[in-house]
């Protein structure tokens, strides 16, 4: 059961991250509704550097955010399937997904919309259930 919960939780991250990445590059879902905002983003740079625009930074942040979610799946699915004993023997590896999930939940609750919040919540519950079964 612990393995199923970990794989399910990690798979949710992989799916959400993949959808997010595809939406970033192949749809307009992350474009502002007001075209003037997009143009303003393209025409100004962040204080940290003039080497990029706010629009390019926005696309980059969305892409790297996707990679982070996909990395959770890329690490925890094969680790759980092929090397589950590593997770069982390591408090760190059994609790890390919960820490990741809680971090994403805080951000999702404050800055995102309902669908990713629910996905992250379900995933975090899966991770917490797995950790409880592993560590008791």
Rounded to an integer, the average pLDDT of 49-59 is 95
62 within 8 A of 26, measured Cβ to Cβ: no
Q: Give residue-wise pLDDT tens across range 58-99.
A: 999 999 999 999 999 999 999 999 999 999 999 999 999 999
- According to the model, what pLDDT value does residue 123 have? 97
Running DSSP on this structure, what letter comes out for residue 48?
A: T
Residues in the chain: 136
- Cβ neighbors of 1 (< 8 A, separation 6 or more) are 130, 133
CB atoms within 10 A of CB 84: 15
Burial of residue 47 (number of CB atoms within 10 Å: 0-12, 13-18, 19+):
exposed
How many CA atoms within 13 Å lie on the side-chain side of 95? 5
The CA distances from residue 103 to 54, 90, 126, in Å, are 25, 20, 15
């Amino acid at each position: 059961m612990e393995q199923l919960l970990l794989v399910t939780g990690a798979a949710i991250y992989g799916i959400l991250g993949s959808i997010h990445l595809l939406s970033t590059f192949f749809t307009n879902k992350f474009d502002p509704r007001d075209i003037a905002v997009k143009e303003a983003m393209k025409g100004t740079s962040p204080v940290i550097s003039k080497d990029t625009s706010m629009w390019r930074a926005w696309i980059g942040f969305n892409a790297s955010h996707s990679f982070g979610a996909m990395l959770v799946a890329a690490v925890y699915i094969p680790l759980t399937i092929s090397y589950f004993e590593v997770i069982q023997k390591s408090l760190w590896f059994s609790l890390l997904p919960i820490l990741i999930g809680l971090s994403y939940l805080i951000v999702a609750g404050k800055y995102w919309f309902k669908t990713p919040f629910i996905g992250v919540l379900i995933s975090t519950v899966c991770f917490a259930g797995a950790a409880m079964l592993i560590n008791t």
